[in-house]
Chain A
Amino acid sequence: ETGVTQTPRHLVMGMTNKKSLKCEQHLGHNAMYWYKQSAKKPLELMFVYNFKEQTENNSVPSRFSPECPNSSHLFLHLHTLQPEDSALYLCASSQVMASYNEQFFGPGTRLTVL
């Protein structure tokens, strides 16, 4: 595997389900990010981890819970979601957070909440 990988690529869940999104980066980076991408909107930053420590939580509802066990892996745990949470969820990584470096993105998870 190379770059940033995400699983699953597609997910359909009911409002009462619990599911998790997984991200893995193979670039040796130390910062990882979760973004939400909705139609006609700019990318919305959700969470940032730098060296496994959460440094940003962009006022995200508690029904989204991130986890970063090490610098290569990032999870987004989902529970009791709403239909408006349907979107493309993107994971990204960069060398470190305290720099102005480009971010590398995974392919995303297309989430549909019924």
Chain B
Amino acid sequence: EDQVTQSPEALRLQEGESSSLNCSYTVSGLRGLFWYRQDPGKGPEFLFTLYSAGEEKEKERLKATLTKKESFLHITAPKPEDSATYLCAVFAGGSYIPTFGRGTSLIVHP
């Protein structure tokens, strides 16, 4: 059973149409939550780290937030170049190995 669940699995947006991606986790003792962006045929690219509930990080059109049960990646006025798969990963308990979600595939149409 997945401990890290990302939704939706796929999302299609029109350029300028803001939306949010969700990463929910059922782990105890969250040590850190990470967001990555992955373009087709490439490795994941690090975006944000969040360590505690209430924390927020921003980068250009992206804003990541964290609660005790989930994280959101808000995309404001997306552009076609924001099209990618967005991955979420968590460190929990005493493990130094992150658990990844399956990702959300985002397509932004011009």
Q: Which residues of A contact B (CB under 8 A)?
A: 4, 6, 40-43, 45, 48, 56, 88, 90, 92, 97-108, 110
Contacts and interface: CB of A to CB of B under 8 A. Distances in A.
B91 interface: yes
A105 B43 contact: yes
B43 A43 contact: no
- Most A CB contacts (10 A, CB to CB) among B31, B34, B51, B97 go to B97
Contacts of A56: 97
B45 A100 contact: no
Given A42-B101, A42-B102, A102-B49, 12 more contacts: A41-B102, A42-B4, A43-B87, A43-B100, A99-B96, A100-B32, A103-B98, A105-B36, A105-B44, A105-B46, A107-B41, A107-B42
Contacts, number: 51
Instruction: Tell me whether chain A's interface is mostly helix, strand or loop, or mixed.
Output: loop
A89 B55 CA distance: 32
Given A42-B101, A107-B43, A102 B96 contact: no
A98 B36 CA distance: 21
B55 to A, nearest CB: 14
Nearest to B9: A40
Interface in B43-100: 43-46, 49, 51, 87, 89, 91, 96-100
The 5 closest A-B pairs by CB, nearest first: A105-B43, A100-B32, A43-B100, A42-B100, A100-B31
Contacts of B51: 100
Contacts of A105: 36, 43-46
